[in-house]
Amino acid sequence: MTFYQKLSAITKKQNSLLCVGLDSDFQKLPAHIKHQKNPQFLFNKAIIEATHDLVCVYKPNTAFYEVRGAEGIEELYKTCQYLRKHYPEIVLIIDAKRADIGNTNNGYASFVFDYLGADAVTLHPYLGQEAIQPFLDRKDKGSIILCRTSNKGAGEFQDLVINNKPLYQIIARQIVKKWNTNGNCGLVAGANYPQELKKIRKIAPDLPLLIPGIGAQGGDIEKTVKAGIDKNGGNAIINASRSIIFAGNGKDFAKKARIEAEKLRDQINLVRKVTK
């Protein structure tokens, strides 16, 4: 099953566009978890068990694991293996924002897809198609490429106008027309910029869009859903991280995470229903 097929299947099965970001910052873990063995894995496992019927995607950001060295990488691995074993139908995206050249990317691709067992990874476009070809060549895996990101300074380069078009639109067109030959590309487009998101959807009507910026980053749910979904009400991976996984910091943290996840899923679906 390809990345596109798997995403479509789980979206329909769960009736959900919700992606939960497993940005499990060690410093923010509940006290009763933090001092146990494998605290990030135990935290993630609890979040997964509480929310697995509400989501289409889980998305760990590698930075929160890499900062802890070998121990953190091991906990990321355990998390990915747990998902693959218990909930293999749920899409796993590794948010690593990789970009390099030559054999270096062969190593990155092998780490994400072969070692961690991910379905997709986030990538930088700056080095061009040739540089990220090792990812694009994985026909069954997703390459989700940064287009218009959710950070405040995103426009510094992404909005630069070249031949009367902002750079982010040029990137989107290039990926649609030239990079997506294996039908496995997606784009990252931040919820904080709904007008830009709408333009990206017009350029890429059939591509999955990974949409961060909801929740703690303040993106508007209604505007995001209306701008981000495709003609069938899907292909939008709407991510929330901190607002869900850190909704509580006591022993009932997983229960509170579920409440927030269910609330957000339902808010998204309400707009999808109206829009469709």
The dihedral formed by the CA atoms of 261, 267, 271 and 274, expressed in degrees to the nearest 10:
120
Instruction: Look up 59 and say whether it is catalytic.
Output: no
Q: Is the dihedral of CA 36, 37, 38, 41 positive or negative?
A: negative
As a three-state string, the secondary structure of 87-99 is CCCCEEEEEEEEC
d(CA 30, CA 20) in angstroms, rounded, equals 18
At which residue do the structure tokens 């229903």 appear? 273
Secondary structure (DSSP) of 106-146: HHHHIIIIIIS--SEEEE--TT-HHHHHHHHT-TTSEEEEE
Which residue is catalytic, options 34, 78, 97, 256?
97
Catalytic residues: 97
